[in-house]
Amino acid sequence: MRYYLLITAILHSFAAPLAAGPWLREEGKTFLSTSINSTRTFETQSSTYLEFGLTKETTLGADLNLAANDPSGQNGSGVLFFRRALGPAEGKNKFAYEIGIGANWGSYGTRPTLKTGLTWGRGMQMGAKGGWVTVDGSLLWDVKSKDYRAKLDGTFGLNLGKATKGILELNLGHSDGSTYATFVPSLVVRPPITDFQIQFGIEAPLKGVAANRIKIGLWREF
Query: How does pLDDT run across 48-68, given as a tens digit for each residue?
Result: 999 999 998 999 999 998 876
Question: Where is pLDDT greater, at 216 or 20?
Answer: 216
Residues in Cβ contact with 209 at an 8 Å cutoff, skipping those fewer than 6 apart: none
| Domain boundaries along the sequence of the chain | 4-221
What pLDDT sits at residue 209? 55
**CB–CB of 86/95 below 8 Å?**
yes
**Confidence bin at 69 (pLDDT 50/70/90):** low
- The dihedrals phi and psi of 43, each to the nearest 5 degrees, come to -85, 110
**Confidence bin at 20 (pLDDT 50/70/90):** low
**CB–CB of 74/63 below 8 Å?**
no
Q: For the domain 4-221, what is the CATH code?
A: 2.40.160.40
**Confidence bin at 9 (pLDDT 50/70/90):** very low
Residue-wise pLDDT tens digits, 171-185: 998 877 788 888 999
